Amino acid sequence: MITGSLVALITPMTDSGDVDKVKLDDLVEFHIANGTHGIVAVGTTGESATLTYDEHADVIRQVVTKVAGRVPVIAGTGANSTHEAIDLTKRAKEAGADACLLVTPYYNKPTQEGLFQHFKAIAEAVDIPQILYNVPGRTACDMSNETTLRLSKLNNIVGIKDATGDLERGKALIEQAPEDFAVYSGDDATAVGLMLLGGKGNISVTANVAPKQVAQAAEAALAGNSELAREIDGGISPLHSNLFLESNPIPVKWACAELGLCGFGIRLPLTPLSDVHHEAVRQALRVAGVARD
């Protein structure tokens, strides 16, 4: 089972919007050096919605190659078309990913039965560990705990990234799910709380800029050391809010560029972080102890 701090990795881009392959390699090394326990490539934070199929597969393949087995690589392969999700998941398996992350279909708003059949079809089509991803704030589609529990019984479905931020709901899911089914947080602000309730890790946006602290907080929470976990998390809590002042990944990409980890490139329809938010993000970086100044 994959556990710990799993960074939802940004996809670095040049000013023209091309994938910056040199910086992508650098980011992988940065995370491994700072204790990140796993890397999620081309998820929502990685701008999966605007990468072409070939770019999507290329980024996964490059991350897998650069990681070289040192930490698990989870590939974002979700889509609002079941056929597309199956194709992306096949490509991720061919690229050597350890697991895939599959978001609920966005925009078309399937029923709970539609969600079950969608994920069931992918699980049956591709033999690779698959982590479901429920983020209703982004998709306008909320997968119920009941549907998740139905899916948890299927081969290849091994966990869920719960980005609802609802700890009571997460607690209920953890208590009812099979022991080998992992519940991961997809909400940095409540991630420590979920792990202390039995969650297995944090698929984190904040880890892009504060990987060491997010990893240490996860390690403490998974060990049941609530005092240390909350102390570490408290030091980076402004990042949990200020990295969402505009739609993700706008603020975190700007923050990574501010730290010299990559350039400021981002792909339309997303645009660079508005000037009015620069100082708030800088201040959160300072509080976390990761700012360059």
Where is the binding site, in residues?
45, 203
Q: Is 161 a catalytic residue?
A: yes
The dihedral built from the CA positions of residue 129, 45, 36 and 67, taken in this order, carries a sign that is positive
Q: Residue 153: what residue type?
A: K
Cα separation, 136 vs 150, in Å, equals 19
Q: Is 120 a catalytic residue?
A: no
Strand partners, 40: 8, 74
Output the known binding site for pyruvate: 45, 203
Look-up of token digits 């990042």: 239
Cα separation, 238 vs 291, in Å, equals 13
Cβ proximity of 6 and 21 under 8 Å: no
Catalytic residue among 23, 66, 161, 212: 161
Q: Which residues are catalytic?
A: 133, 161
